[in-house]
Amino acid sequence: MDYLEQLNEPQREAVENVNGPCMIIAGAGSGKTRVLTYRIAHLMNAHNVDPFNILALTFTNKAAGEMRHRIESVVGSDAKNLWMGTFHSVFARILRAEAGRLGFPSNFTIYDTDDSKSLLKNIIKELNLDDQIYKPNMVLSRISMAKNKLVSWHEYTTNPIYRAADEESNRPEIGRIYKAYVERCFKASAMDFDDLLFNTNVLFRNFPDVLNKYQHRFHYVMVDEFQDTNLSQYLITRKLSAVRENICVVGDDAQSIYAFRGADIQNILNFEKDYPSLKVIKLEQNYRSTQVIVEAANSVIDKNRAQLKKNVWTANETGELVQLIKANSDGEEGKLVATHIFEEKMNRQYHNSDFAVLYRTNSQSRSIEEALRRMNIKYKIIGGLSFYQRKEIKDILSYLRFAINERDEQAFRRIINLPKRGIGDSTVDKIMVAAAQLGFPFWEIAKGMQNYIPGRAVHAVAEFVTMIEGFKLTVQSKDAYEAASHIASRSGILKELYEDKTIEGLNRYENVQELLNAIKEFVDNTENEDKSLGAFLQEVALLTSVDEDKDNDPDKVTLMTIHMAKGLEFKAVFVVGMEEDLFPSQMMISSRSDLEEERRLFYVAITRAEKKLFLSYATSRYRFGKLKSCDPSRFLEEINPGYIKVDRKLSNQENRFSATEKDFRSNLVSGMAPPPKTSTPINGYVHKPEADFQPSDTSNLQVGMKVEHPKFGFGMVIKMDLDGANRKASVNFENFGEKTLLLSFAKIKIHSS
DNA sequence: GACTCCGATCTTTTT
DNA sequence: GATCGGAGTC
């Protein structure tokens, strides 16, 4: 068991203590993933546990995949048989197998948030309620909260506490909407995200034999990111592990940032009460960050009351102070961030991929993007509007969904008149009303249109019905890829997009092609046993935006919300928008109690950094399309002043780099070739059109240069590839175009890959 | 039923 | 600054 040698004492204990309830409190950067990985490997290796009997629940599919991969490298291909995945994907799988018990077909659809919202919108309209008072978003979050606490619509409507709360906020009908929503989902053979957990609880509660089966299957249960589980998830894991009580949860209360969707920090705080024989192991040594960063983070989180006692420390170097950046506007903030990235790249020989820019809200990404684009620094955005949320993708997916589940109301509404075939809203309404009155599924009404609703839409609907019935046969007889491409072209969607020659239209067409490629990949992937369209749709429905990251150019700066950054680490991190009302967010300030969660969010952001942390704020910012002045965030004052330094150097324009040739040479990596002639004119103009430089394949060096662009300002990296034998240089200008450049600084580094 | 224009609303985070 | 829905027109 040589892997045990690589662990410190508490880590080793966490790996070896496999029997009985166990809670691992893992501070930021304390090697949590490593411990989980080795623990599972250890179960298989040292205790001969069949991987089929191990259940490991993670937060994202990506985390599950990575862990499986790492376990595989220790124990081999056996790792494939582990039950590992997100709560939603694992229990969706179990629900499909047991769907009949709950009266659902096994091909039930999974509604995403958009589907849920538009269904709610329909219901609110049908109940003649004011959609200004009953906003779908708000109603959905109310229902979601209830489901996450395992409160059924029935309990919701009878419980006086919920009644009173709803009446107080002048929304007494939420219970009624909840009821209608559940009924409509059931009729549509659909479950939303919360239902996957709620219904698993119902399944285990109402069918002891089913529960028994899974209790005996999973001898060992592990939960990652335990601090972010809600009651519904917690009860599932408790029930599943009730027979053997080999339950191990890993988490950090200081990093609980999902209370808004029902995560309950009490789960972690109360775990000890639920399991009196609980073994608690604390991992407190941080291996990720410098002392300054660890201490700064501690000084912030200390302000929270609700937390478990622990002492996160590090043996790493002291490191540099946290750097505060003040900007006059969001635009300048972006510029300063880009400039600092540029400087750090040169001074420390970092790659783009060593940087992350973290923000509170997705909308903040724009000004950062603009600045990075200007300086030709490559970046990628994680999260935001995901590929699978795009209109054209959802359109195609709706066709596929409907071919599999003819009761899927939301899919039906989406595709019935797309492309336009003369079936408008009023026809759809008539179909739905007839279906409700006669008690038939709406698809039956559509199929017998001339009998139920004679009129001018009959012909168009009949054609649609024939087409869909054809698709259903296709889905049964072909694999996912063949079926999807058939449906994409026969439905007329592909054609319509193809004929749209605008840039957006072209883009959409390409996106659909990309979707088809993804389905092809899914079918060709030998690890997927089930290659049906249904299996693909299930996977896609439960994909998270972190999972979608399959960028093939790995050297990019990462931009994302702090929420998405959980579990990740970067050499240098920028937390931008440190302004009151933005971070902490206005909404949290008004509801006082959750300021602690905002602080934990800040803690998560800080602890992503390994070497260097930047915090930036702007004194004015565009919000709601209007320029507003902003105050620095209260969080900035919560960092112990000993760990922070204020940077003014770069906020005034005249303070630009200038370097002498000596500086230039002293930055050479020892033993490497001297810089070639073409790059020596420091502070001089280089008049070379792009065409004069050819990227070289034989390179082993890369030169980062600070350059000035007459129009776009200064600060841009140019890669210079050196041919070692001839000492000739060729420069790749990276989309710079034919422009005159001022070289003011350069530094050579080894290009390791 | 399809199209166009205008105003309201949104942004806190996501499985 | 973008998107969505409603009103009005063809």
Count CB atoms within 10 A of the CB of residue A87.
Answer: 22
Beta strands at A322-327 and A644-647: parallel, antiparallel or unpaired? parallel
pLDDT exceeds cutoff 60 at A689: no
Distance CA A234, CA A209 (A): 20
Q: Which of A32, A34, A401, A407 is catalytic?
A: A32
Q: Which of A192, A195, A225, A721 is catalytic?
A: A225
Which helix H or strand E contains A573, and what residues bound it? strand A570-575
pLDDT confidence band for A747 (50 / 70 / 90): very low
- Nucleotide whose C1' lies closest to the alpha carbon of residue A542: B15
- Nucleotide whose C1' lies closest to the alpha carbon of residue A121: C5
Q: List Cβ neighbours of A415 (8 Å cut-off, separation of 6 or more).
A: A395, A398, A399, A402, A491
> What pLDDT was estimated at residue A62?
81
Catalytic status, residue A586: no
> What pLDDT was estimated at residue A83?
92
Answer yes or no: are the C-beta atoms of A574 and A359 closer than 8 Å: no
Strand C bases, protein C-beta under 7 A: 1-2, 5-6
Task: Summarize pLDDT for A470-496 with one digit per residue, the tens.
Answer: 999 999 999 899 999 999 999 988 888
DSSP labels, A598-649? HHHHHHHHHTTEEEEEEEEEESEEEETTEEEE-PBPHHHHHS-GGGEEEE-G
pLDDT exceeds cutoff 90 at A530: no
Angle (deg, nearest 10), helices A61-75 and A32-46: 50
Count CB atoms within 10 A of the CB of residue A478.
Answer: 16
Task: Summarize pLDDT for A67-112 with one digit per residue, the tens.
Answer: 888 898 888 888 888 999 999 999 999 999 999 999 999 999 999 8
pLDDT exceeds cutoff 90 at A511: no
Catalytic status, residue A227: no
Answer yes or no: are the C-beta atoms of A228 and A257 closer than 8 Å: yes
CA of A132 to C1' of B8 (A): 11
Count CB atoms within 10 A of the CB of residue A656.
Answer: 16
pLDDT confidence band for A59 (50 / 70 / 90): confident
Cα separations (Å) of A555 from A335, A378, A387, A656? 20, 7, 21, 26
Residues paired with A55 in a beta bridge: A83, A221
A502 touches strand C (CB under 7 A): no
H-only helix segments in A553-613: 586-590, 595-606
Chain-centroid distance of CA A276 in Å reads 35
Q: Tell me which residue has tokens 């841009």.
A: A716
Q: Is the overall model pTM greater than 0.85, yes or no?
A: no
Higher pLDDT, A555 or A623: A555
Catalytic status, residue A215: no
Distance CA A152, CA A134 (A): 19
Distance CA A220, CA A83 (A): 10
> What pLDDT was estimated at residue A551?
66
Q: Which amino acid is it at A586?
A: Q
Task: Summarize pLDDT for A175-224 with one digit per residue, the tens.
Answer: 999 999 999 999 999 999 999 999 999 999 999 999 999 999 999 999 99
Catalytic status, residue A647: no
Q: What are the phi and psi torsion angles at A551 (to 5°)?
A: -60, 130
CA of A135 to C1' of C5 (A): 14
**Nucleic strand B interface residues, CB < 7 Å:** A 59-60, 86-88, 113, 132, 135, 137, 193-194, 257, 260-261, 360-363, 383, 417, 420-427, 457, 542, 544-546, 561, 563-564, 585-588, 624-625
Residue nearest to nucleotide C1 (CA to C1'): A625
Closest CA to A211 of A241, A247, A240: A240
> What pLDDT was estimated at residue A354?
95
- Reading the block at residue A641, the tokens are 């002043």
